[in-house]
């Protein structure tokens, strides 16, 4: 999964030609680390239609504040440069991400 930061966020997410799932994670966030392998498998299965990127929240605090990312993990869903959905909190399951992604792709 492509790692982005505040310098590359606009180019990789806001200007992307296809929908983007942004995974905000932290190296000490157990739910983040538990979900990561599942999200990477989802990325592999959707590689032609969806772009996945991850942001280390501990290294990008200003970007997190600007995007109102206040808890980890947080997943933001973008389409045409706009944030169209959000999932946040330690109780997120891979099924929740898949369901939200389906909704984003349907609209």
pLDDT one-digit tens code per residue, 49-104: 999 999 999 999 999 999 999 999 999 999 999 999 999 998 999 999 999 999 99
CA atoms within 13 A on the CB side of 85: 20
The architecture of the domain spanning 2-106 is 3-Layer(aba) Sandwich (3.40)
Q: What is the rounded distance in angstroms from the CA atom of residue 4 to the CA atom of residue 97?
A: 20
Q: Which string of b and e fits 9-23 if b means at least 16 CB within 10 Å?
A: beebbeebeebbbbb
- Give residue 107's pLDDT band: very low, low, confident or very high (50, 70, 90): confident
pLDDT one-digit tens code per residue, 50-63: 999 999 999 999 99
pTM equals 0.96
For the segment 17-36, the average pLDDT, to the nearest whole number, is 96
The structural domains of the chain, with segments of one domain joined by +, span 2-106
Percent of the chain whose predicted confidence (pLDDT) is above 70: 100
């Amino acid at each position: 999964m492509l790692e982005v930061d505040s310098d590359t966020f606009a180019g990789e997410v806001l200007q992307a030609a296809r929908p983007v799932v942004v995974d905000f994670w932290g190296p000490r966030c157990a739910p983040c680390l538990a979900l990561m392998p599942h999200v990477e498998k989802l990325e592999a299965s959707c590689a032609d239609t969806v772009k996945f990127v991850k942001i280390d929240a501990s290294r990008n605090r200003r970007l997190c504040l600007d995007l109102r990312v206040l808890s980890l993990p947080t997943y933001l869903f973008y389409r045409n440069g706009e944030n169209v959905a959000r999932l946040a909190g330690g109780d997120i399951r891979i099924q929740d991400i898949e369901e939200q992604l389906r909704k984003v792709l349907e609209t």
